[in-house]
Each structure stands twice: as C-alpha cells, then as structure tokens.
Amino acid sequence: MNDFLKPRDGLSSAGRYLSPQIDANVRLNANESPLPPLVGASVIEQLELNRYPDREARTLREAIASQYELSANQVFAANGSNEVIQTFLLTYGGPNRSVMIFSPTYVMHSKIAAITGTSVIDLKREKDFSLDTDFVCEQIEKEKPALIFLCSPNNPTGASDSEELPERILKLLETYSGILFIDEAYGEFANSSFVSLISEKRPLVISKTFSKAWGLAGLRLGYLLGPSWCIKEIENISLPYHLGAITQSVAVNAMKNLASVENQADDIIRERDRISEALKNLAVEAWPSETNFILFRPTNMNATEVWEELVSKSVLIRDFSKIEGLEGCLRVTVGTETENNVFIEALEEILR
C-alpha cells in the first residue's frame, strides 16, 4: 500500500456535488432558465482577450449596484454563487468557527463549509419545510455561530422565509459578532427580497446569481451584496483576475435588458403556477414554490421508479428521494410551455 499524502482532515469523505447529466429531450433537473439569454454576440468581438480583465470588475459591479441603489463597494462578483460562498467562507469561516444551516437546503452551503474547515451546525426544518422563528433564535442564542445561512426561497423546497426571521436574527447579532448570509439565488421568482435590509451598520450579506432568471448558467456569474467593510475583506481573499473579461462584458450587456428579463421571469412564474395546478389532479403531494422549480412527492409509486419512467420518456427531472429529510421527493424545473406539457403528460401517464 502506498503511503501517499491524504487530503486534509474533513475532506476525504466529502464527495462531489452530483446532479446527473443525462441526455434527454426535456431537461428539467438543474433549475436553469429554459429561455436563451438576451445578449448580442458582438460583445465578445470587442474585447482585447490578450489582456487581463479589469481586476476590480468595476463596470460590472457598478451595473449590479445600480439595480439595488447600492454602491459598487457593496458588491462582490465571482464565478457563480458557489465561488461567492467559498470566498465568503474562506474569509469568515475556518477552524474554530461554525456556520448554522437549516436542512434540507442547498447542499453546497454545508459542503463548502466543510471544505473550508468550518464546523456545521445542521438544524432541521419543520415537516412542511418552514422555519420556526422562535426555535431558530433560541438555537442562535445557545450556539452563537459565527455565520448563519438562510436560503430564501429555499432550494430544493421552494418557499421563502418569513419577513420577521432575518430581522430577529440581526437583532441577536447585536449581542455578539456574527454574520447573516442569505442566499437569494431564486429571488427574481419570489414575492419578496431582503436586500432592503442591507446597511453598513448590519452584518448582513445576500448572494444572487445570473444562472436562473437571467438565463446565463453557462456564464458562471454570481455576486454578493453587503456592507463595504465586509466586501473589502472578501475581495482581499479572492484570487487576482478571477473574473474573466468575457464574463464581465456579457453580464454588463445583459443588464441593459432588465425589463425583458423581468418579463421572462413572469412567464416562468405563470408556467410554474400552471404546473402546480396540474399536479393537484395527480397522485402527488406538492409544495408551494416561489422559485422556478416545484418539489413534489408521488403518493402511489416509488419516486425513483417515477424518475426512471420519466427518463425512459426522455424527460429528466431531479431525484431527491434518498436525501435525508426529502425522502420520496422529486423536483421539476419549470421549462418552456412545450416542455412543461411533455412533463405533465408523461407524469400523468406514469401515475395512472
């Protein structure tokens, strides 16, 4: 047996993030936008790709900040929300610090925490996947975690947190040093946002992405909004030139079409609600959603068998049935009207 150097403690059993990439005519498994981005190809032709990109991504950050009436110094942009989360945890997590999460939720919160050596306090949501505000606050008072992660709307369950919860948590953070991180990857599809709570005087940061409503999952661009003192520390940890010129330029160009993106989000919301209505007539339990996906549980068949039957019909959705807290659950991303019709008809046929 070779005595090669092993990964550092805590990583050997971490495993990779896996979402099956199977060839299918209708792909409704990864919460991507079914609609193409509103970006002109000529944008790339104007770039000097022999030169390093703007290290500060200033134009991009100013464009993002203007959407929220913030300053560029209150924006950190990175290669997808996962790099945002990783850089944040490299900055404020690590050994002898803990992060509190509420499962089931986005798996990368705990996975990246483990990679950065941050201990995870994993609390469970209610049976309906909601969070009890009093319980959450009691646990924060007891554990005093350095970091608290909320995901609103929550992935993969779909519902938003109560408006009271972040305010109660921020009140508790006046009694000790900690930061509240809210993941709003699906915020464009929700009825509310917590961005208005961002202030130089509050330890609150909010992450968002171009992967969902903006239809730019392939671009890999996410960003963090927060107080400038926090963003500055995160920037100090990030790698130089980590955000490419193409990424910056395409995103700035895309933001010129904000109204069209909002219209596309409205279309997806209408399709989401139509799927929800269709599911009411089938043998499934489905949960309310403020995202571009719906979590549901078949009640008369094994979930994995349903998933396999859908794949055989060239319809790919996500199987969560073996995940703790999500037993028997499947998740479908909202696609185009045609794709959604194919999914509904296939599911009806399978569950009959």
- pLDDT-derived band at 49 (thresholds 50, 70, 90) equals confident
Give CATH superfamily name and number for 26-35+259-351: Aspartate Aminotransferase, domain 1 (3.90.1150.10)
Q: Is 120 helix (H, G, I), strand (E, B) or coil?
A: strand
Segment 163-188, tens digit of pLDDT = 999 999 999 999 999 999 999 999 99
DSSP code of residue 189: G
Average pLDDT, integer, range 198-204 = 98
Going from N- to C-terminal start, the domains of the chain cover 26-35+259-351, 42-257
Structure tokens belonging to residue 333: 């991303």
The enclosing H or E element of 282 equals: none
DSSP code of residue 294: E
Q: Where are the strands (E) in 204-264, listed by range?
A: 204-209, 222-225
83 backbone φψ class: left, alpha, beta (φ>0; ψ -120 to 50) = alpha
Q: Where are the strands (E) in the chain, listed by range?
A: 26-27, 75-78, 98-103, 119-124, 147-151, 179-183, 204-209, 222-225, 284-286, 293-298, 315-316, 318-319, 330-333
Structure tokens belonging to residue 232: 């500055």
- pLDDT-derived band at 43 (thresholds 50, 70, 90) equals low
DSSP code of residue 314: T
First to last CA, the chain: 54
Segment 316-352, tens digit of pLDDT = 999 999 999 999 999 999 999 999 999 999 999 999 8
pLDDT at residue 76 is higher than 70 = yes
Give CA–CA dist 145/178, Å, rounded: 7
| Radius of gyration of the CA atoms of the chain, in A | 21
CATH topology of domain 42-257: Aspartate Aminotransferase; domain 2 (3.40.640)
* Confidence (pLDDT) at 186: 98
**Nearest of 256, 298, 242, 328 to residue 55 by alpha carbon:** 242
pLDDT at residue 4 is higher than 80 = no
Average pLDDT, integer, range 206-216 = 96
Burial class (CB in 10 A: 0-12, 13-18, 19+), 16: exposed
Q: Is 279 helix (H, G, I), strand (E, B) or coil?
A: helix
Average pLDDT, the chain: 93
pLDDT at residue 22 is higher than 80 = no
Tokens 């980590």, residue located: 242
Between helix 80-92 and helix 228-237 the angle, nearest 10°, is 100
* Confidence (pLDDT) at 291: 98
The answer to whether 212 and 180 have CB atoms below 8 angstroms apart is no
- pLDDT-derived band at 29 (thresholds 50, 70, 90) equals confident
Give CA–CA dist 204/197, Å, rounded: 8
pLDDT at residue 154 is higher than 70 = yes
